[in-house]
Amino acid sequence: MPIERLTAEDEMMLWPDRIWPQDIGALAVLDGTSLLDPEGRFLIEAVRQAVEARLHLVPRFRQLLCVPRRRLGGPLWIDAPGFDISDHVQTAPLPAPGGEAQLLSAVEQLRRRRLDWSRPLWEMWFLPGLPGQRVGMFVRMHHAMADGMAAMAAMAAFLGSGPSPADEPPRPWAAAPAPTPDELFADNLGQHLHRLGRGLRALAHPVTSTRRVGAGWPAMHELLAQRPLPATSLDRLVGPDRRLALIRGRLDQVQQTARAHGATVNDVLLAITAGGLRELLGRRSELGTGTVVRIYVPVSLPREPQAQASGNLIGQMVVPLPVGATDPERMLRQIAADTARRKAESRPSLGHLPRRGLAGRAFLKLVSRQKVNVTSADIPGPGEPLYFAGAQLLEVFPLVQLLGTVSLAVGAMSYAGQFNIMVVADRDAYPDLDVFVAGVQDELRAFTPRHDAAV
């Protein structure tokens, strides 16, 4: 079998993991009527069988991350010799009264638990105890396995389009043998020769190489060379604890707002995030008419459509949010024009950026000077309702991780006409997260009054 090394992009998700665990995932709410027995107990064994029956669609979910010794090359994926579905699909009943506060508290407790690197790096937790026989479902995986889009495609492998669960047994599976040290050494040598040949080809065509570097400079300037912004209370090192919040919207309203202003759904997400930051910084007496906050916006690079976790392939934009502006519509048009210009620029994959040695330390120092303390994600989801083991998926919210001094993350996902947001914040940096959430909700309402009036 071919040796599956992590790509440079995937390896980049490993270096901050010891301090800031790089797990991504989603919180969903299911109609749990068919997942509970008459006494209200969750049918965990039936659910495990339903998950295991579809694991062949996501081979990475039965693989370990292996880090070989020196001179045998970089990390690679190997089949887990002792895979047990019960290690990955578990329950955590919510305490009374089983409301949203208890659900988010349970998710935070599970998020803080380190994934076990001796097993495949994913978990699926079911959280019964919500009112109306609803059940929470928290799915997470390590970021090295997939970026946001690939992770959602992997999760979709366990979902169906109708309420009738597919009654199929798990397919037979046996772990393939891990590559031997000799095979790893030969593969590593081959990769070194390939990189050397690529470098020599670049030297043989200096004009082409120079043009490629020049095309990517505007994007690099965003990350490294913009004038640093004034310090704010947002700029602090991320700790271990989080505050979580959920915001619910309607996709048709967001799309209508975007069309009316020549914007995209992602632009609207950035604009309402700016509204939340305006409210927050205003309460903290840190807001001026020209206040700007920069935000990371991931850019998915071209890839073939795939229905399984397939690694990372992303670039990064840095977008200035004019949070000091008081006219929401003008601010949205400004953000839309800015992001359109930035999207047209050539962007290197994050995996091509330096992260080791002197070059890596210099790169990280330049990045930290820019004082980007907020990140975002906008994931388009299915337009029709989906079902897990016959239970309807009622809501879904993406979870985005923090690291370094990026102390606030705003992740949005569209699903079945909904536009749902999960806010993840450093607990110490955002004791007043409710102020930010209220500002986002106010900004969302400010964009949609005409639509509501028409109804």
Sketch the domain layout of the chain as residue ranges: 227-454
Residue 396 is classified by DSSP as: E
pLDDT of residue 284: 97
Which residue from 319, 340, 162, 207 is spatially nearest to 262, judged by alpha carbons? 340
Centroid of chain to Cα 326 = 30
Q: How many CB atoms lie within 10 A of CB 220?
A: 15
3-class DSSP assignment, residue 358: helix
Whole-model pTM: value is 0.87
Quickly name the fold that domain 227-454 has. Chloramphenicol Acetyltransferase (3.30.559)
3-class DSSP assignment, residue 14: coil
Strand pairing partners for 315?
Answer: 299
pLDDT of residue 454: 39
- As a dihedral over the C-alpha atoms of residue 111, residue 117, residue 121, residue 123, rounded to 10 degrees, the angle is -50
Provide the token pair at 209.
């190489």
Residue 94 is classified by DSSP as: P
pLDDT of residue 209: 43
Contacts of 391 (CB under 8 A, 6+ apart): 30, 31, 32, 33, 34, 35, 135, 163
CB 15 within 8 A of CB 354: no
Provide the token pair at 148.
């946001």
Would you list the DSSP string of 278-342? HHHHHHTT---TT--EEEEEEEEPP----SS--B--EEEEEEEE-TT---HHHHHHHHHHHHHHH
Buried/exposed 361-388: b ≥16 CB within 10 Å, e otherwise: eebbeebeebbbbbbbbbbebeeebbbb
User: Token match 């270096």: residue?
Assistant: 15
Indicate the pairing of strand 293-300 with strand 374-379: parallel
Contacts of 338 (CB under 8 A, 6+ apart): 319, 320
Q: How far apart are CA 425 and CA 441, in angstroms?
A: 17
pLDDT of residue 451: 42
> Can you list the residues of the chain whose pLDDT is less than 50?
209-217, 303-308, 359, 363, 451-455
pLDDT of residue 201: 67
Indicate the pairing of strand 314-321 with strand 374-379: unpaired
Q: How far apart are CA 324 and CA 331, in angstroms?
A: 9
3-class DSSP assignment, residue 115: coil
Which residue from 71, 367, 408 is spatially nearest to 236, judged by alpha carbons? 408
Q: For 228-250, what is each residue's pLDDT tens digit? A: 778 899 988 999 999 999 999 99
